[in-house]
Amino acid sequence: MLDLNSSDDSSKRNSLKDPVSLNVGGEIYTTTLDTLTRCRDSMLGAMFTGQIPTLRDNCGNIFIDRDGKVFRYILNYLRSGSLDLPDCFSELTLLRREADFFQIRPLLEEIHRYETSVPLGLRGGPLGAILIVKVDSKVCV
């Protein structure tokens, strides 16, 4: 694991840029330690600064038993600092759960801003009120 307490600054800078391969729920991602430790107080920050032990799969990738498809958006957020979701993204609840698991507070704030800016029908929530029509043609909401 990376020793961030090393006194050799050039070695530390180079190792932060070295590629790291992750297996997240069966999806393989390659990134840098710099990206993974961008939010130091997150679970990823703790994992990749040696505060939390990591597991490896049979191929030597660091294994994280979480949703691999949604991790793409978490990793892209760490890379760019921006929440970039496709139009009609339908897994916002899962993304919020994963961001909460990884304790990435700035991403959770971005998700909240996104939720409040997107119409309710596109968030996967209820589409409106249910109308119950009685036999005497009165409408109750």
Between CA 31 and CA 22 the distance in angstroms is: 8
pLDDT for the residue 134? 55
In a domain, 75, yes or no: yes
Of the listed ranges 6-15, 18-27, 79-88, 94-103, the least confidently predicted one is 6-15
Is the separation of the CB atoms in 72 and 84 below 8 Å? no
Is the separation of the CB atoms in 36 and 20 below 8 Å? yes
In a domain, 2, yes or no: no
In a domain, 1, yes or no: no
Q: Which residue has the higher pLDDT, 49 or 11?
A: 49
In a domain, 48, yes or no: yes
pLDDT for the residue 61? 97
pTM for the predicted model, two decimal places: 0.73
Q: List the CATH number of the domain containing 67.
A: 3.30.710.10
In a domain, 3, yes or no: no
In a domain, 99, yes or no: yes
Q: Read out DSSP for 55-74?
A: EE-TTSPEEE-S-HHHHHHH
- In percent, how much of the chain has pLDDT > 90? 66
Q: What residue numbers bound the domain in which 42 lies?
A: 9-140
Is the separation of the CB atoms in 88 and 122 below 8 Å? yes
Between CA 66 and CA 50 the distance in angstroms is: 19
Digit-coded pLDDT (tens) for 17-46: 789 999 999 999 999 999 999 999 999 999
The structural domain count of the chain equals: 1
